[in-house]
Structure 1
Amino acid sequence: MTSMSKSKTNNGNGTVDSRRQEVQRIVKNACDQLNSEGVDARNYVEQLAWLFFLKAFDEAETRREEEAAFDDAGYERRLSGNFAWSSWASKTDHPDEMLEFVDGKLWIKLTSPDPKKGLGDDPLAERFRR
C-alpha cells in the first residue's frame, strides 16, 4: 500500500470515505442496471450528472438555511417544498411517479425564471435552459 493510499484510508475522516464509497457503489449499481437493460451510457450520464447537481444543491441550501437560522436571519430556499431534493428523491418506491414529477413539474420549475427577479434575471433558471 502506498503512503498516499494509507493517508486516504487513515485520514481520520471515515465518514467522508464511507460516503464516497457508498456513492460509488450506488452509481456503479445504477450504471450496471441500466447497461443490463440495454441503455447506452450516452443516454444516462447527463441525467446522473443533473441528479448529482440537484443533490449537492439541496445540501448547499440546507447548509445556508442552517447558517441563517444560527444568525437569526431569514433564508428562502430556491427549491423548497415538493421541489426540494429531500422531498421528491425519497419516493423510490414509485419510480414512475418520481419520473412524472421530475419531467412534468420539477424541470418546468427549474427552467422558469423566478417571478421576483423577472425574465432572464434568474441565474438558476438560466443554467437549466442551456
Structure 2
Amino acid sequence: MDEAMKRACLAALGLALAAACSLPAAAQALRDPTRPPASRVPGGAGARAASPASNGPQLQSILIARQPGGRHVAVIDGETVRLGDSYKGARVARMTPNEVELVRGSERRVLKLNAPGNALPSGGIERARKD
C-alpha cells in the first residue's frame, strides 16, 4: 500500500474515533439494590411531607431467632436495638415478627412493620380488618 493511501486510512480512522468519542454516553447508572426507597430516607426525593402520623420512629426490620430464648433484634430509624434495650429514652419491651413495643413511663407505643406512620399510641384506634 502506498504512503498516501495509509495516511488517508489513518485520517479516516482518526475522524471516526473522534466522532465516536464526542457522542454522549448512553450508559445507565446502576442502582444500589440495598438502598431504601427515597420515601424512607429523611430529606430524600419523594419523602412524605411531615404529618402527625409520620413524626414517630419508623420500624424498618425485625429479626427473631427460631430457637426459644434466641436473639430478638430490630432496626428503628437505622438504629439496631435488642429486646430490653433503650431507644431514645424508651425501653424495647416486646417484639413480635411484625411489631415492636416501646415503653416510656406509662406511655406505650407500638411500631408496626411496613405500616405508614408506624406509631400507634396505646389506646389508639385501629382500622377494622376486612377478611
TM range (shorter): under 0.3
Query: Which of structures 1 and 2 has the bigger CA Rg?
Result: 2
Q: With the length of structure 1 as denominator, give the TM-score of the two structures.
A: 0.28
More helix by share: 1
Q: With the length of structure 2 as denominator, give the TM-score of the two structures.
A: 0.27
More strand by share: 2
